[in-house]
Amino acid sequence: MKKNKNLLKRVSLFTINLFIIATIIGSIVSYYQSVDIFLGAKEDIIERGLKLQVATLSSSINGEWNDKEWILDYYVEHLDECNTGLSEEELEEYNKWSTGIDYNNIDEEINNASDKIKNYHVRFEMSNLFLSTIYSVYEQQYDRFSLIDISDEHKGIVLFEGELDDYHENTQLEEANAGSIVNLDDIDKSDLNDLISGKKDIIFDVQDGDINKDAYYNGYCLMNTKDPKYALCISYNWSDFRAGLVNKILLTIVVNIFVMIICGGLLLFLLYRIAIKPVKVMQKSVREYEKTKESKSIVEDLMAINSRNEFEWLANDIMDLSIEMDSHIKEIKDAREKMVNFNAEVMEALAQTIDAKDKYTNGHSSRVAKYSKMIAAKMGMSEDTQTSIYYMGLLHDIGKIGIPDEIINKTSKLTDEEYNLIQSHPLFGYDILSRIPSHPELAQAARWHHEMYDGTGYPDKISGENIPLHVRIIAVADSYDAMASNRSYRKYLPQDVIRKEIADNIGTQFDPECAKCMLEIIDEDTEYKLHEE
């Protein structure tokens, strides 16, 4: 039963630990998978945004610009001049010029114009180009948009850069961060080369800080020009995104843990209802059956098990087995009771047979057996022990069967030979009862009931605790009945004489504890009725 209890504990602990481990592993996997999934999704969004920009710019170049890529080259070489404002007079002059120009011959018109008008016109075209692009990708909710020169001559120079939100309402190019430098060395060189060579359409990198702090996740693609030296870039604030993502993942983890705890609790509850509770009930019932040996006390508990599985079947089997065992136990008890009664009857008959040899002491063995049982009870011995001592008292004088009747009933003084023969009855009794190995105490009582506590008795002259306790009890009871009953040579002694005789021989003839219990019995028998029974 103890092993079953430990097994249930191990199963419960294993289930709880399994859920905890599964929750932790699931949370870790969910975290990293979520980061990868969101990052992959963000790359897809950036890629779509870049393709949209390329398509928009290409449309602008191929349509309005008629493939005049020189405007980009001019702009990057004259950033300061192109971004210098015009005075009112110059602006008025530009308006007149732009109104009368022939767009079919725009190259010549621009070349013939003054530098300031040329610069301002290039700036105007760039402004229109990128503002239209910004509006086309604004709904994508990126953080930055820029055009970067990746040629060896102007590597890293930004032609245009701005926060997309800044251009929600503004239409001026002055807000653009033109002229700043991007450190392209932070980009993996092989990725950059693959982009320039056309092996890759888009590359990604993290710049401007650690991935966990103040970092921008950038996507680059080539602008669709004849000479691949301009890259479009969309930037996303990865730090803010990651912080929000981590919070969402943590919330998801907390929810998962909460759900797992609830599921674990439900599973443990089901495990308790389906397995643990039935096993505990069966365990309790079996233990109770071990104590009571009655199925009636456990049948009700076992019938209450309604798990509809193997445990219910096992409970029914235990219940059937206990009922069947009750039947067998009853049969055994009945047979044992019959056997005990038979043994008692046989012993009583033997005792009567022994006592019948002495007409003066008829009933001596029964009385010694009764007194011995009373002493054992005074000493706090169990019922079984008292019964065993009673039977020893019944058969303690069985050896007198081997003594002639004329010697037992002789009224005159015995000769030495006759006395020695009388003293041999313990050995005769031992020989007879030693043939009952299942009850060696019977033979011991027959052999040693005339031994004395100081070692002066017979036949073996053993002393003290070398004499078994039950034999020491019988010795006191035997002496009491010898003095309290009539003999061929005298009448029974008065009770006070008997009491004094026993008290005077404590520690010499009698065991002190046994003798004191006999004295208590004598004191309780105020009317001296024991010897009459």
Mind listing the pLDDT tens digit for each residue in 195-206?
888 888 888 887
Q: How many CB atoms lie within 10 A of CB 508?
A: 11
Please say if the pLDDT value at position 436 is more than 50.
Answer: yes
Please say if the pLDDT value at position 464 is more than 80.
Answer: yes
For residues 119 and 513, the model is more confident at 513
Please say if the pLDDT value at position 289 is more than 60.
Answer: yes
Give the pLDDT score at 365: 87
Please say if the pLDDT value at position 170 is more than 50.
Answer: no
For residues 434 and 252, the model is more confident at 434
Confidence of residue 57 (pLDDT cuts 50, 70, 90): low
Q: Say if CB 372 and CB 389 are below 8 A apart.
A: yes
Confidence of residue 514 (pLDDT cuts 50, 70, 90): very high
Give the pLDDT score at 168: 45
Please say if the pLDDT value at position 492 is more than 50.
Answer: yes
Please say if the pLDDT value at position 531 is more than 80.
Answer: no
Strand, coil or helix: 39: helix
Please say if the pLDDT value at position 382 is more than 90.
Answer: yes
Q: How many CB atoms lie within 10 A of CB 475?
A: 27
Q: Say if CB 82 and CB 123 are below 8 A apart.
A: yes
- Please list the residues that pair with 237 across neighbouring strands: 216
Give the pLDDT score at 349: 76
The mean pLDDT of the chain is: 77
Mean pLDDT of 380-399: 91
Largest pairwise CA distance in the chain: 177
For residues 349 and 140, the model is more confident at 349
For residues 165 and 113, the model is more confident at 113
Q: What DSSP string describes 463-524?
A: -GGGS-HHHHHHHHHHHHHHHHS-BTTBPPPPHHHHHHHHHHTBTTTB-HHHHHHHHHHHHH
- Helix (H) or strand (E) holding 237, with range, is strand 230-237
Smallest CA-to-CA distance from 194 within 170, 230, 222 is with: 222
Confidence of residue 533 (pLDDT cuts 50, 70, 90): low
Question: Own/partner pairs for 260-264, CB < 8 Å, 24+ apart?
Answer: 260/19, 260/22, 260/23, 260/26, 261/19, 261/23, 263/19, 264/15, 264/16, 264/19
Confidence of residue 135 (pLDDT cuts 50, 70, 90): low
Mean pLDDT of 229-237: 80
Which two three-digit tokens encode residue 515? 């003798």
Give the pLDDT score at 475: 95
Write the CA distances from 186 to 67, 182, 199, 210, integer angstroms: 32, 9, 20, 12
Which two three-digit tokens encode residue 129? 């180009």
pLDDT digits (tens, 9 = 90+) for 306-337: 666 666 677 777 777 777 777 777 777 777 77
Range name among 40-49, 82-91, 130-139, 325-334 with the lowest pLDDT average: 130-139
For residues 148 and 242, the model is more confident at 148
Please say if the pLDDT value at position 411 is more than 90.
Answer: no
Say how far apart CA 18 and CA 10 lie, in whole Å. Answer: 12
Strand, coil or helix: 186: helix
Confidence of residue 373 (pLDDT cuts 50, 70, 90): very high
Give the pLDDT score at 63: 44
Q: Say if CB 178 and CB 79 are below 8 A apart.
A: yes
Please say if the pLDDT value at position 532 is more than 80.
Answer: no
Say how far apart CA 507 and CA 451 lie, in whole Å. Answer: 13
Mean pLDDT of 221-226: 74
pLDDT digits (tens, 9 = 90+) for 68-87: 677 788 888 888 888 787 88
Cα 525 to chain centroid, rounded: 66
Smallest CA-to-CA distance from 498 within 481, 475, 511 is with: 481
Mean pLDDT of 102-123: 79
For residues 363 and 24, the model is more confident at 363
Mean pLDDT of 147-161: 83
Domains of the chain: 25-245 (no CATH), 356-532 (1.10.3210.10)
Give the pLDDT score at 469: 95
Please say if the pLDDT value at position 507 is more than 90.
Answer: yes
